[in-house]
Amino acid sequence: MFNKIKFFFTGFIQGLKSDYWAEVTTQCPYCIYYFGPFQTFLEAKTACPGYVDDLQSEGALGIKVAVKRCNPDVLTIFEEQA
């Protein structure tokens, strides 16, 4: 039980130290893109419209954006990889 609590708090604290990333998901074609790192939430959020505009100009549909603290291993995930 103690190990589970320790693991939770360790992950929580590491998450607070993580950079902010913009996670942009498109439905057609299905892709997940990570843009960053950013030092603040506001900095990441402010950059998102440019990423969305670029993807729309390329014909992507169903675009959703989330700003989160994470450390992505891969910056682009394609439909074959999902």
pLDDT in tens, 11-70: 444 445 699 999 999 999 999 999 999 999 999 999 999 999 999 999 999 999 999 999
What is the pTM (predicted TM-score) of this model?
0.76
Question: CA 25 to CA 31: how far, in whole Å?
Answer: 6
Q: Are 68 and 25 in contact (CB under 8 A)?
A: no
SS3 24: strand
- Identify the DSSP state of 33: E
Question: CA 34 to CA 48: how far, in whole Å?
Answer: 11
Report the chain's terminal Cα–Cα distance, integer Å: 33
